[in-house]
Amino acid sequence: MSITEERTNNVIGQRMLRREDPALLTGEAKFVNDLVIPGALHLAVLRSPYAHARIVSIDVSDAASMPGVVAVYTGKDLHSTWAAPMPCAWPVTPDMKNPAHYPLAIDKACYVGDGVAAVLATSETASRDALDAIDVVYEPLPAVIDLEDALSDRVIIHDAIGTNKSYTWNLKVESAEGAVDQAFKNAAYTVSERYIQQRLIPMAMEPRAVAAVPQPFGGDVTLYSATQVPHILKVMTAITLGIPEHQMRVVAPSVGGGFGSKLDVYAEELLCVALARKHGAPVRWVEERSENTQATIHGRGQIQNIELAADKDGKLTAVRVRLIGDMGAYLQLVTPGVPLLGAFLYGGVYHLPQAYDFSCTSVFTTMTPTDAYRGAGRPEATYAIEVAMDALARTMGIDPYELRKRNYIQKEQFYDATGNHVGYTAFHGLNYDSGDHLAAAEKAMQHANYAGIRKQQKTQNVPGARKRLGIGMTSYFEMCGLAPSRVLASLNYGAGGWESATVRVLPTSKVQVVTGTSPHGQGHETSWAMIAAEKLGVAPEDVDVLHSDTAIAPLGLDTYGSRSLAVGGVAIAGACDKVIDKARLIAAHQLECAAEDLQFDKGTFSVKGSPDKAVPIAAIAFAAFTAHNLPDGVEPNLEAQYTHDPKNFSWPFGTHICVVEIDTETGKVDVLKYVAVDDCGNQINPLIVEGQVHGGVVQGMAQALYEEAVYDKDGNLKTSNLAEYLVPAACDVPPITTDFTVTPSTTNQLGVKGIGEAGTIGAASAVMNAVIDALSGLGITKLDMPASPNNVWKAIQSVQGGK
């Protein structure tokens, strides 16, 4: 098929400033907490100070009699309110264990932060003060914070399921029975590595906030929430509370970041709706920052064992992976699926025969539930294969780039014997749409001055050097554009992966685009307007983008998994096509020619060969509105709805290179240079693309150097504020060089792939490979993240005996 159609309107590809920014930068944007809701009651949630404790009794009488307090509820009080437990939409295996999870714990608290009681009061301060007056008697039980300890079932967290193991999920692909074992037996080289993906706290700039507003009559409720997923939330709230779905409306106003943490259905959303209906009054809640670190999902949390087998040239012959996934105390919306999203990527960007053995066992612990966090499963997978590739290169004594070059899927492998572009069908059967790994890597090498740094290392990294230089790389594939509905079905996911768009040309030729994506910082309004402007030949300023309100955009599957452009943006293009097709019929009628004889360019239909016979789409829109003279069988108005179900994932890729210098006395890692060469196919707005790369790289780098959710042995989160949990600030960000190659996707008409998670996927391993590269001359070949000064110093001490 053709890669993309010719474009003539020159909107796509422009570095347009984001139309969202003036409101955000001047503080005019309205977030949930900015909404003025007369008569609202304020919810506050009392949270367990114990990681694991039986709730013996709760005395709310003092709290209930405090000034301003309207009601106090315990988990027992509200048990009958819930039509169903909180939802998990991804039962990855038929025998997956999913303990019942309610908005307020009933008998037992299972992590520090688990809600045990709720206060409704007339002011936020009164609700907060009343929490201190609730008297809960707990019987503390042992905490479970170590994954292997959890698997031993020494302490059972959920009595009703009798085990801490939630599921084991396997992906074994062998050309013949025993192929993996055979490959390891015959291998010239093998490596066996163990990596820890520490828990991370997503830490969106805006914590969560909720307001539920009941209508005075009829039972309708509007739920305002700082969510990434208004559509999913609407369905799930209806199911969990037994509210007819058409009576639920969900609105996500301006949302201050999510990174996956707002891709969920949370206790407070359900509490606000339930209590608003019960009390016939609006109920609102806003999360405190420290509360956010405990009551909003965490990310990562895996122990990874990865083994590579390679032949004498270093060509990979088999990959074996054993994961333990930390689910935390309960399964949230897609918790169990996160490791699966990475399951296909432990072979990296390499040509691997059918000798792949992946298995993930996931366990409950007494910590905050985990769920999707920027990259979700894919940064973990990329980290494992890419750090292991460096280990393999060290074992073989060859340069890590040389090893990668021998293994990259070659550009030619995306074509069949007759030169047709057919994509690359990988060992697991998924088809990689397009790629040219070597081209991206070569470009990155040049920016990073790879050869020059290698040379400088020879003179700098001498014994006793105070500052050691390191360079590390990562070549990644991002499986995104979630997702083809049929593939999701095969993974047992509880919904499809399509996205919907409606495009409407108004009588005055202004355009409305209605999308089911739900932006929370990505600049969709800007990019979506550009797509419609390109397609329809109008100015981007004449396109308005409506979203994130289920009354305005009733169909949608929201924003996560780098899906919005590759699925939602393509849906907009498809809806534009339908609008153009309809307009073409009207134009043909007006110009008295056959529809096939018309061409559409720069917003004007003209008769092929006689360009003076032309009519602009503006005139067609007005004609469609007046309906005075439409061809037979054509309905008035210029509007079309289109739902795009992608045929395939999209596969952005690229190479990132990091250069570090390590102070061997203090252990401090300085990132001197970071190069990101990404290929996300065609770019709608390169300015936004670069911004996504910058943010993603910083988040990935933060995992490598700064961030870690630390629990003590009693299950207390020690990093529950921004002084302890080290999110890097602007002044901690090193210079980042961004560049791109453009290999359009062949599976959607825009040729786009997605860029939201790429930076995070590439960065952690690139940084850690650089750190280990700097230290390997000292005999250090292993280091857990984060490479904090203390950890690096300790590693140096351990090989030098303190010298």
Partner 1 sequence: MIPAAFDYKRAGSADEAIALIGQYGDEAKFLAGGHSLIPLMKLRLAQPTVLVDIGRVKDLSYVKDAGDHIAIGALTRHMDVEKSPVLAQHVPLLAHAASHVGDAQVRHRGTIGGSIAHADPASDLPATTLALGATYVVQGPKGKREIAAKDFYKGFLESALAADEMLVEIKVPKMNGAGWSFQKFNRRAQDWAIVGVAAWRNNGTSGVALVNMGSTPVLASAVSTALSKGASVADAAAHAADDAEPQGDLNASVEYRTHLAKVLVRRALEEASK
Site stretch for partner 1 (CB under 8 A), options 316-324, 454-462, 568-576, 702-710: 702-710
SS3 assignment, position 410: coil
Q: What is the C-alpha separation between 188 and 311, in angstroms, rounded? A: 5
- 65 forms part of the interface with partner 1 (CB under 8 A): no
Partners of 190 in the β-ladder:
309
Smallest distance from partner 1 to CB 273, Å: 24
Output the six-digit token pair for 791.
């950890």
Output the six-digit token pair for 97.
């264990």
- 546 forms part of the interface with partner 1 (CB under 8 A): no
- 710 forms part of the interface with partner 1 (CB under 8 A): yes
User: Among residues 667 and 751, whose Cβ is nearest to partner 1?
Assistant: 667
Smallest distance from partner 1 to CB 298, Å: 16
SS3 assignment, position 98: coil
Site stretch for partner 1 (CB under 8 A), options 471-479, 494-502, 603-611, 784-792: 784-792
Q: What is the C-alpha separation between 625 and 647, in angstroms, rounded? A: 35
Smallest distance from partner 1 to CB 732, Å: 5
B/e letters for 182-205, b = 16+ CB within 10 Å, e = fewer, are: bbbeebebbbebebebbbbbbbbe
Give the DSSP letter string of 561-619.
TT-IIIIIIHHHHHHHHHHHHHHHHHHHHHHTS-GGGEEEETTEEEETTEEEEEEEHHH
- 288 forms part of the interface with partner 1 (CB under 8 A): yes
Handedness of CA 69, 75, 76, 78 (dihedral sign): positive
- 128 forms part of the interface with partner 1 (CB under 8 A): yes
Select from 732, 776, 781, 784 the one that contacts partner 1 (CB under 8 A).
732
- 661 forms part of the interface with partner 1 (CB under 8 A): no
Site stretch for partner 1 (CB under 8 A), options 269-277, 435-443, 521-529, 720-728: 720-728
User: Among residues 295 and 345, whose Cβ is nearest to partner 1?
Assistant: 295
- 68 forms part of the interface with partner 1 (CB under 8 A): no
| DSSP-derived secondary structure letter, 460 | H
User: Using alpha carbons only, how large is the chain's radius of gyration in Å?
Assistant: 28
User: Among residues 181 and 663, whose Cβ is nearest to partner 1?
Assistant: 663
- 718 forms part of the interface with partner 1 (CB under 8 A): yes
- 728 forms part of the interface with partner 1 (CB under 8 A): yes
Sequence-ordered strand ranges (E) for 264-401: 283-286, 299-310, 316-328, 355-364
B/e letters for 136-156, b = 16+ CB within 10 Å, e = fewer, are: bebeebebbbbbebbbeeeee
User: Among residues 349 and 709, whose Cβ is nearest to partner 1?
Assistant: 709
- 84 forms part of the interface with partner 1 (CB under 8 A): no
- 793 forms part of the interface with partner 1 (CB under 8 A): yes
- Compute how many other C-beta atoms are within 10 angstroms of the C-beta atom of residue 781: 15
Q: What is the C-alpha separation between 21 and 13, in angstroms, rounded? A: 19
User: Among residues 362 and 703, whose Cβ is nearest to partner 1?
Assistant: 703
- 125 forms part of the interface with partner 1 (CB under 8 A): yes
- 798 forms part of the interface with partner 1 (CB under 8 A): no
Select from 418, 429, 723, 803 the one that contacts partner 1 (CB under 8 A).
723
Select from 114, 129, 269, 433 the one that contacts partner 1 (CB under 8 A).
129
- 668 forms part of the interface with partner 1 (CB under 8 A): yes
Q: What is the C-alpha separation between 342 and 326, in angstroms, rounded? A: 15
User: Among residues 185 and 289, whose Cβ is nearest to partner 1?
Assistant: 289
Q: What is the C-alpha separation between 762 and 146, in angstroms, rounded? A: 27
Beta-carbon contacts of residue 74 (< 8 Å; ≥ 6 apart): 58, 60, 104, 116, 117
Number of H helices, E strands in the chain: 21, 28
Alpha helices (runs of H) in 282-377, residue ranges in sequence order: 289-295, 338-343
Residues 641 and 496: beta-carbon distance below 8 Å:
no
Phi and psi torsions of 223, nearest 5°: -110, 115
22 cis-preceded (ω within 30 degrees of 0): no
Smallest distance from partner 1 to CB 198, Å: 13
User: Among residues 134 and 533, whose Cβ is nearest to partner 1?
Assistant: 134
Select from 94, 731, 801, 803 the one that contacts partner 1 (CB under 8 A).
731
Select from 122, 163, 290, 431 the one that contacts partner 1 (CB under 8 A).
290
- 706 forms part of the interface with partner 1 (CB under 8 A): yes
- 62 forms part of the interface with partner 1 (CB under 8 A): no
- 719 forms part of the interface with partner 1 (CB under 8 A): yes
Select from 80, 412, 729, 801 the one that contacts partner 1 (CB under 8 A).
729
Site stretch for partner 1 (CB under 8 A), options 238-246, 271-279, 284-292, 454-462: 284-292
User: Among residues 594 and 729, whose Cβ is nearest to partner 1?
Assistant: 729
User: Among residues 241 and 295, whose Cβ is nearest to partner 1?
Assistant: 295
Smallest distance from partner 1 to CB 788, Å: 7
Please give the residue ranges that form the binding site for partner 1 (CB under 8 A): 124-125, 128-129, 132, 288-290, 665-668, 705-706, 710, 718-719, 721, 723-724, 726, 728-729, 731-732, 788-790, 793-794
